Amino acid sequence: MADPSRPPVRARRRFLAGSAAVAASTLLLGRRRAYAGDAEITLKLAVVAPPGTPWARHIRWLTTRVMDGTGGRVVIKPHLGGALGDEVSTLSRCRQGGVEMWAGSVVACASAVPEIAALELPYLFPTLAAADDILDNRVTGEIESMMTKAGLKLLFFSENGYRSIGTNFGFVHAVADLKGKRVRAQPGDVPTHTWRAMGASPLSIPETEALTALQTGVVDGFANTPLFAYAASWLQAATHVTLTRHSYQPALVVMNLDTWQALPKTAQALIRGDPKQQARLGRKIVRGVNKQVLDVIPAIGVELHESTSSELAAFKAACEPTHKQFTDKHGDSFYKAITKHL
């Protein structure tokens, strides 16, 4: 039942539409031309990002660039909002060639490349600048190699951002506050181990089923960025957000390797562009809108708490065992490649 004290959903939609307009003005660099005839190559792109979000706008910019540059002969067809399924299932289809392109989170990509989940270990990156440097300058080659072995071509990075905790029972000041609480965990070892280290009882639930689980009380909370939680309407089922920023979540765009290799070189160049420039663009708009969402959260009836330095230190200490759990299972080669630069 809706809480009459909270602003109506249309207020949230107005904000999201406004945010999308800001992103669109940044991303849409030119007017799209009309083309006659059918495309010679159509590439399906699966993504759980909802329409109207910065991620959707970034993809639209990409599709426009490719269409313009190929005269309409190559078309990228995005399927937003999980229309083709959740992240893990659509990534599997991408590896098999049923979906040509995929955009999503690193931890979902770990279903095909387990070692890459090291990037989402809790409290790994002290700053956004450190995360950018690692991804752009330190481990790109290792990631490209891992993707190739999995039958994927890494195109470029984007981001979801720092994940925090949303609940329907109050703020999370300490591990004790999560004791006995059922929380939605993104499928994967790292999210599950992180939640357990923080005292909660995690239930692995795909993105496409998370809102229903929150609304029906199957779970009491979740972890995600304020922006994604807002855009996916998860905050409609929350009363409190605690900014723990316990895990930085990169995003990435990949393509089925065979499909990539069969494309003309000109199409490859248009699709990939300059990977570092693509990453900077995606991060810029996501971070800008994330800041706007933080300002709006209290206005939509959800209470917001910025974790104190002592609270963060306690959470970090509690999560330290998850790093060893990861390296014990997946080896420490990639983990060391990351941490030696931090």
Whole-angstrom distance, CA of residue 323 vs CA of residue 149: 24
pLDDT at 161 over 90: yes
Q: What is the pLDDT, as a whole number, of residue 282? A: 96
Taking 50 as the threshold, does the pLDDT of residue 277 lie above it? yes
Among 24, 96, 81, residue whose Cα is nearest residue 47: 81
Burial class (CB in 10 A: 0-12, 13-18, 19+), 284: middle
pLDDT tops 90 at residue 5: no
Residue pair 107/117 in contact (Cβ under 8 Å)? The answer is yes
Which pLDDT band holds residue 9 (cuts at 50, 70, 90)? Answer: very low
13 three-state secondary structure: helix
Q: What is the CATH number of the domain that holds 212?
A: 3.40.190.170
In a domain, 4, yes or no: no
- The distance from CA 9 to its chain's CA centroid, rounded to whole angstroms, is 23
Q: What pLDDT does residue 29 have?
A: 27
CB neighbour list of residue 259: distance below 8 Å, 6 or more residues apart? 43, 97, 100
Q: Does the residue 101 lie in any domain?
A: yes
Residue 2 lies in a domain: no
Statement: residue 297 has pLDDT above 80: yes
Contact 335, 118 (CB under 8 A): yes
Inform me whether the pLDDT recorded for 192 exceeds 90: yes
- Contacts of 142 by beta carbon, 8 Å cutoff, 6+ apart: 334, 337
Q: Is residue 43 part of a domain?
A: yes
- Comparing C-alpha atoms, which of 336, 341, 335, 342 is closest to residue 120? 335
Q: What is the mean pLDDT of residues 107-118?
A: 98
Please state, in angstroms and as integers, the Cα–Cα distance from residue 305 to each residue in 56, 195, 223, following that order: 29, 19, 14
- Answer for the pair 317, 198: CB distance below 8 angstroms, yes or no: no
Does some domain include residue 66?
Answer: yes
Count up the domains in the chain and report the number: 1
In a domain, 278, yes or no: yes
Residue 1 maps to a domain: no
Residue 2 in this model has a pLDDT that exceeds 70: no
Mean pLDDT confidence for 156-175:
98
Determine, yes or no, domain membership for 151: yes
Domain range for 13 is 9-291+298-339
pLDDT digits (tens, 9 = 90+) for 220-252: 999 999 999 999 999 999 999 999 999 999 999
Banded pLDDT at 96 (limits 50, 70, 90): very high
